[in-house]
Structure 1
């Protein structure tokens, strides 16, 4: 990152084809402390080994560029042709597949957000769509299971996620990470602003939205939803996304994006697979926006109630 002419210059990177994009936003303060967040864009398949290798490569590269927290997209480890395919690959979080990603976090000494993992569910007919945060020691810090399941009839087809996926029951914030207090969501959750108000209202500086949007909904809604959630909650929104054709029945929109609390896009990818975008997260900037537009003080909780408190996991390193 460079300071030039009153702007912060950020980069996004691709392994193939070569890709460089310069993005900018006004500098609020040259003296604030910030940490780098990377969002990764993938074209996952039904080959879990291939998927792990591309994640491994991009996480390694992002870590070398200084990322302390890296978010992978929904279904980073597997995308099949049908929802039933997910049942066949589901594993517990202490199983061999997820353990490899924990080892990757420890090897690269980074935080990993791993969303859309196909976790074994409450019965043989259902899995959980699980978003896990792992620390640089490879320890599981937080587990969020997707609350809102994608049962829709859209241009890309009729989808019923609830046929094979059990919904979660709890909102989650991880506090005291290098990039601040982090709210966890997944994909379709972005359409439910109440969830984001609860997370931001209870201290989230950044809300992660790892996703696998379909092309039709992505083209019409993706950017609007992400920027709206950032503006109305005065938080960073970071959305790592799946991209491209996964198989004959499934494609994803891509366009991974990081939006700042003012609603400005400070990091964005396009339609190419195997990329990552690196941006600085400034908690003082979050607070400055909330001071300038103190909407949280103006809420009419007497009319529509206070935001429900999520589970807040306060991180403490075992090393003290």
Structure 2
């Protein structure tokens, strides 16, 4: 993607913590789409009010994981795709784009999405809409326990989108944006591959347990910021409504972390716009260009690790090239991987 020369060096970002209203109980696609549009209407009001409070230099808003739909709970791949997955140029993106355009913001979020190149499947997709309402970044989650990923159709996905489509970085007026989905904060390789392509701000849409004690994900957020010398804007759900799981199971802790690993803003539980902070790109870029012990990016010796990765084969690629499979496929593939690695003495 071409760099945007109309640069904004300092602005405010918001990790907007909102309740996810799940569509699992919707009777059909029409009802599910109606629920999504209600969510979008509600978000439009919340975003406008949040900007009015924070200030009109709020140029980036990140929404939680699967904020329009919740996650599948037993639905087959085909059923979830039909009910809950967005089309790549569908009405939901258009409506969200209108919010971005009206408020002159970059709007990031996460949704389930179908792709005509891969019939029978869907991908969990992180997206960024720019102030014109256009999608400037589309990242498909690469590590998922119970959903298809580009790695499951690896050869064909590379043919369609190339490696830069697997690890996209959008060079925008508010910096180089990249996305991480939910638990992918625990996979340092994903963030590092994006940093190698210039990522300065990681947009982390998540839906996770939050508590007083620091969880592995909380530790990982600090680590990803420090080791990649990048901002992290992490938006969690304020609970998930309309499913059997208690609503507040994934609620709270949206935050913004700077390139030194310092938490600039954090909110508790419930719907909140309290997790906002200044993004100072000039300071980040000075920090990245300053020689010294803390400049971890410039000290990377990538050749040391390349051969070990090349020789290692853990979770297999291309296991879903034939399209839809039974949901048992995911756990069965993991079991087979664990057995193989155990026989090799790796785990």
TM-score by length of 2: 0.68
Aligned pairs for 1:1-320 within 5 A: 33-46=9-22, 47-64=35-52, 65-66=55-56, 67-79=58-70, 82=73, 84=75, 86-87=80-81, 88-115=83-110, 117-121=111-115, 122-124=118-120, 126-149=121-144, 151=145, 161-162=146-147, 165-167=148-150, 170-178=166-174, 180-214=175-209, 220-246=215-241, 247-249=243-245, 251-290=249-288, 291=290, 292=292, 293-305=294-306
Q: State the SS of the aligned residue for 2:21.
A: coil
CA distance in 1, matches of 2:74, 2:279: 35
Runs of 4 or more, structure 1, over 3 Å off, are 165-169
Specify which structure has the higher proportion of strand. Answer: 1
Aligned to 2:332: none
Distance 1:103 1:276 in 2: 24
Please report how far the alpha carbon of residue 207 of structure 1 lies from its aligned counterpart in structure 2 after TM superposition. Answer: 0.9
Alpha-carbon contact 2:203-2:232 (below 8 Å) kept: yes
Deviation of 1:248 (Å): 1.8
Q: Please tell me whether the aligned partners of residues 210 and 253 of structure 2 are also in contact (alpha carbons under 8 angstroms).
A: no
Query: In the TM superposition, what whole-angstrom CA distance separates every residue of 1:144-190 from its partner, at most 9, and x where no partner exists?
Result: 111111x2xxxxxxxxx22xx34466011111232x11112211211
C-alpha deviation, 1:80, in angstroms: 5.2
CA distance in 1, matches of 2:214, 2:251: 7
| Distance change (3 Å), C-alpha of 1:68 and 1:42 | same
Aligned equivalents of 2:176, 2:93: Cα separation in 1 = 24
User: What is the alpha-carbon root mean square deviation over aligned residues?
Assistant: 2.6
Deviation at 1:123, TM superposition (A): 2.6
Once the two structures are TM-superposed, the CA of residue 241 in structure 1 deviates from its matched residue by 0.9
Structure 2 distance, partners of 1:59, 1:93, is: 23
Pick the structure with more helix per residue: 2
Other-structure match for 2:338: none
Unaligned runs of 5+ in 1: 1-31, 152-160, 309-320
Contact 1:43/1:244 (8 A) holds in 2? yes
Q: 1:245 to 1:104 in 2, by over 3 A?
A: closer
User: In terms of mean alpha carbon deviation, does 294-303 or 80-89 score higher?
Assistant: 80-89
Q: Is the 8 A contact 2:251 2:270 kept in 1?
A: no
TM-aligned CA deviation for residue 274 of structure 1: 4.2
In structure 2, C-alpha distance between the alignment counterparts of 1:279 and 1:120, rounded to whole Å: 34
Aligned to 2:171, the other structure's residue is in SS state strand
Contact 2:139/2:167 (<8 A) preserved: yes
SS at match of 1:296: coil
